[in-house]
Structures are given as C-alpha cells and as structure tokens.
Chains A and B, each alone.
Chain A
Amino acid sequence: MNLVHLHLLLNHIPTIGTIIGFGLLLLAFARQSDELKRASLALFFTIALAALPTYMTGYAAQNALKDRAGVSAALIDQHQSSALLALMAMEATGVVAWFGLWQARRPGGVARWNAPVVLLLSVVTIALMANAANIGGQISHPEILSAGETPATEGALAPAMLRTVYIATFQFQHPWAWPMLETLHFVGLSLLFGVVLLGNLRILGVTRAAPLIDVHRLLPWGLWGFVINSVTGMMFFVGAAGQYYDNPAFHLKVVCMLLAGANVLYLTLFDDIWTLKAGQHAPLSARLVAASQVCLWIGVIYFGRMLPYLGDAF
C-alpha cells in the first residue's frame, strides 16, 4: 500500500459517491422525506472531505507514472486540471450541503433554495468528475478508447485561469501572492479555531453558561474559516505540490483534518447536545468528541507548522 495505491482506491469515491448522493436526494424529493435528504447532505459533505486526499494523492501517481514508456505527460496534465475543476464543484456541493444540515436546526428551518442548489451542484460535479475520471483512465489504460478515438490531450474543460499550471505560475510570478495567501490562511485558522473553542469548550463544560442552540448560530463562521483555509491551502498545494504530497507532516495534517471533519459531521447530525440549556452538562460521548476535536485542530496546526521540519517544505 502506497500513495499511488491510495489514489486508485480513493478516486472511485467522488464519482460513485456523488451519483449515490444525487440518487438519494432525488428519492428524498419524491418521497418528501427529510431523513433521506439529511442522509444525502451528510453523504455529500463526507465525499467533499474524501475528495481532498483523492486529489492530493494524484501527484504521487503522476510521479510514479511520468517516466513510464507510453504515458503521455499532456494527458496527465489534462487529468490534473480536470480533476481540480471537479474538486472545486465537489467542495462547493459539500459546503452548501453542510449549510442545509446546519439550517435544519435554526428557527427558520432549511432555506428553500438549499436542496435544489445541492441537486444542481451535484449534477455539475458528477459531469466534471466523470470527465476527470475518464481522462485519468486513459493515462495507463489506453485500451478503454474506442477505435478511432484519440486521447483527451486537447480541448480542456477548465478555463485557463483555473488550470493547475496557471495557478502554480501565478503564485511565483507575483512576490506578494504567497505571503498574502499565508496571511489569509492564518486569519482563516484563527476564525476556525475561535469557533472550535467556543463550541467545544461549552460542550466540555469549561463554561456551561451558553444554551447550545445559540452557540450553533455561530458555527457557519467556523465553516467560513475552513473554506478560506481549504482554498488557500489548495493553492499552496497546487503551487508547490512536490513539497507536500510526499511530506509525512502533510499526511498527518490531512489525517487530523479529515478526522476533525468527521467530528463536525457527528456534532451536526446528532441531536443529543443541541437541546442543552444554559447550565446543563453534555453527555460523556459528546464531551469525548469535543475533546478530540480540540486536540485534532491543534494537531492540524502542529503538523502544518512542522511541514518544513518533519518534511522538507519551505
């Protein structure tokens, strides 16, 4: 088992998972079932998390294949840019899906636009994922091409500005770009960390003065912090993938981040804590999740800071 193997395993999740999520959401509409809708939204959120390492491990696969006879560098580049475009659609779907889950607990309920927007975004994601997967398949399986068909080295779906080559060169042509992205990454970190501490320290009982449903109102700002950091973080990754994809500190950072994401899903889906009034204790299970969540985010900060020391990032 290595990173290439992991890429070949993970790359089925965004394509097949999104189709299943889409089917569930259609069924939820047909049956008018809120349960099915929640299941579909939770699935989209989970796949959006899984799509991040799927994209990242692609660089290990590229590194393993690039010198092999008969493997086209142009085709790999095409796959990479298509995958990045599909990833953007997938992450947008995941964010809107999380908002749907969050809105279900607010007094006004889920906004009418939420499920239709998730449905639309998921269709776009399925199309872009299928395209990326198809091009990816051609890299080492030319036998999937029908007679007379040529590999998809031309005719990119991704606009020039969203292609990996453009993003990578842009950051290094402009001396202000990297420091500016780092600044945003730190602002996003602080925003996310602040909300993580507010929510989890309340659940842990460091202070029990707040009713949890009111703490819930501030959670989207934690998500905005996470969105800022996913975007800027992916820009670092695309800009200098060589120093991250094989970096042990980076692997640990991503693992901590994905586990923290699973925690967020747990706290979002289960009802036991959100009914707690001022002064009430959270159940032990919720406190364990909250404690692990704080530790995991500190882990994300630690391994992020250790990128140049445990690995060789600049």
Chain B
Amino acid sequence: MDAYFDWLQNLPFSIWMSESDSLWAYPLILFLHSVGMGLTAGSAFVVGLRLIGVGNSLPLSSIRFMFRLFWAGFFLNLVTGSFLFAAAASKDGHLAIYYAKLVLIAIGILVSVPVRRFVDSDASDRFVPGRIRTLAALSVVIWTGVITAGRVMAYVSL
C-alpha cells in the first residue's frame, strides 16, 4: 500500500498539484472541493430540515431538484477529492480519520437513496413517514460528520 501511495504522490500531476505556485493548481481544486461540499451537504441539510418538519407548507415535490445538486456536488468532490488525495497520498493514506470520512460519505450516499425515492414518489406531498424523518435527521448528522472529518484531517498527523 505504501508503494502505491508513493507512486500516486510522485505522479507528475500530483507533484504539479502540491508544488506549483499557480492559483490554478492546488488552490483552485481546494476551492472547487468547498463548492462541492456546499452543494452536497447544503442540499442534504435543506432536504433534511424540510423532511424533519421545517417549512411544512413547501411541497416536497418542488424540491426534487435539490438531489441533482446533491449528486453534482458528490461527483465534483469525487474528482477534486481524488486530486487532493493524490497530492498528499503518503500522508493522508495513513490517516484513520481519512478512512472514517470515506465510510461516512458511503453511509451518507446509502441513506440518500431511500430518502430520494420517497421525495420522488407521488406520496411525498401527503405525509412523511417516521422512517424517512429518521433517515433525514441521520443524513444531517452524517454530512456534518463528513465535514468535521475533512477539517480534522488538516490538523492531525496520525
């Protein structure tokens, strides 16, 4: 595994990412990663709050487009996150918190599937079942956890 991390970090692209002074290198990718975070976590928060019961008069069928933002953010961050990882693979690849972040993202995506299925269904403008409410609350907690893990990664060395 160490050999793989070293290989990844020593690719010309990874070296350009970590060593270039250009604003188009590491800073741009970092910025795009923040926008992706805002898209994914932001839409998960808004949909989650609405399902928990905030602003009940807003028809759920009218916020279905938030799931497109959710996935747009996810794919943007899959790409930018891979770039950021490549630039620091030898360090990040050994961080437990990095793997915790990946696990949390996987759970967040899994939770979003039944939530989206409900919001996309014809039943969504009637009442929200308890199971969906629980999953919505859970998704708010999980995406907060993903953000926390991502931030902590910048500060820990193990």
Do B62 and A278 touch (CB < 8 A)?
yes
Do B69 and A197 touch (CB < 8 A)?
yes
Residue A153 at the chain B interface, CB threshold 8 Å: no
Report how far A209 CA is from B50 CA in the complex, Å. 16
Do B46 and A198 touch (CB < 8 A)?
yes
Residue B74 at the chain A interface, CB threshold 8 Å: no
Residue A194 at the chain B interface, CB threshold 8 Å: yes
Do B45 and A190 touch (CB < 8 A)?
yes
Shortest C-beta distance, B17 to chain A (Å), equals 13
CB contact under 8 A between A214 and B58, given known A179-B155, A198-B46, A306-B27: yes
- Chain-B contact segment, one of A17-25, A129-137, A154-162, A180-188: A180-188
Do A218 and B58 touch (CB < 8 A)?
yes
Residue A207 at the chain B interface, CB threshold 8 Å: yes
Shortest C-beta distance, B88 to chain A (Å), equals 16
Do A305 and B62 touch (CB < 8 A)?
no
Residue A29 at the chain B interface, CB threshold 8 Å: no
Report how far A209 CA is from B56 CA in the complex, Å. 15
Shortest C-beta distance, B143 to chain A (Å), equals 7
Do B49 and A305 touch (CB < 8 A)?
no
List residues of B (24-55) whose CB comes within 8 Å of A's CBs.
Answer: 27, 30-31, 34-35, 37-39, 41-46, 49-50, 54-55
Do B41 and A190 touch (CB < 8 A)?
yes
Residue A166 at the chain B interface, CB threshold 8 Å: no
Do A218 and B65 touch (CB < 8 A)?
no
CB contact under 8 A between A210 and B46, given known A182-B151, A183-B147, A194-B38: no
Shortest C-beta distance, B65 to chain A (Å), equals 4
Report how far A198 CA is from B46 CA in the complex, Å. 8
List residues of A (175-216) whose CB comes within 8 Å of B's CBs.
Answer: 175, 178-179, 182-183, 186-187, 189-195, 197-198, 201-202, 206-207, 209-211, 213-215
Do B45 and A194 touch (CB < 8 A)?
yes
Report how far A198 CA is from B64 CA in the complex, Å. 11
Q: How many A-B residue pairs have CB under 8 A?
A: 114
Do A190 and B38 touch (CB < 8 A)?
yes
The count of chain B contact residues (Cβ–Cβ below 8 Å) is 39
Do B49 and A221 touch (CB < 8 A)?
yes
Report how far A192 CA is from B30 CA in the complex, Å. 19
Picked from B39, B49, B50, B152, the residue with its CB within 8 Å of the CB of A179 is B152
Contact residues in B for A206 (Cβ distance below 8 Å): 65
Chain B: CB-nearest residue to A185: B151
Contact residues in A for B37 (Cβ distance below 8 Å): 186, 189-190
Residue A266 at the chain B interface, CB threshold 8 Å: no
Shortest C-beta distance, B46 to chain A (Å), equals 4
Q: Encode contact with B along A286-314: 1 for CB under 8 Å, 0 otherwise.
A: 00000000000010011011100110000
Contact residues in B for A202 (Cβ distance below 8 Å): 62
Report how far A192 CA is from B66 CA in the complex, Å. 14
Shortest C-beta distance, B92 to chain A (Å), equals 16
Contact residues in A for B63 (Cβ distance below 8 Å): 198, 209-210
Residue A5 at the chain B interface, CB threshold 8 Å: no
Picked from B66, B144, B155, the residue with its CB within 8 Å of the CB of A187 is B144
Residue A217 at the chain B interface, CB threshold 8 Å: yes
CB contact under 8 A between A309 and B27, given known A186-B147, A221-B54: yes
Contact residues in A for B82 (Cβ distance below 8 Å): none
Residue B158 at the chain A interface, CB threshold 8 Å: no
Contact residues in A for B61 (Cβ distance below 8 Å): 209
Picked from A179, A217, A309, the residue with its CB within 8 Å of the CB of B54 is A217
Residue B154 at the chain A interface, CB threshold 8 Å: yes
Contact residues in A for B38 (Cβ distance below 8 Å): 189-190, 193-194, 301
Do B57 and A217 touch (CB < 8 A)?
yes
Beyond A195-B46, A211-B62, A213-B57, 14 extra complex contacts between A and B, CB < 8 Å:
A190-B41, A194-B38, A194-B45, A194-B66, A197-B39, A198-B46, A198-B66, A207-B62, A207-B64, A209-B64, A210-B58, A214-B58, A301-B31, A302-B31
Can you list 5 contacts pairing A with B, beta carbon distance less than 8 Å? A187-B144, A189-B38, A194-B44, A210-B63, A301-B34
**Chain B residues within CB distance 8 Å of chain A:** 23, 27, 30-31, 34-35, 37-39, 41-46, 49-50, 54-59, 61-66, 69, 143-144, 147-148, 150-152, 154-155
Across the A-B interface, give the 3 residue pairs with the lowest CB-CB distance, nearest first: A194-B42, A217-B55, A210-B62
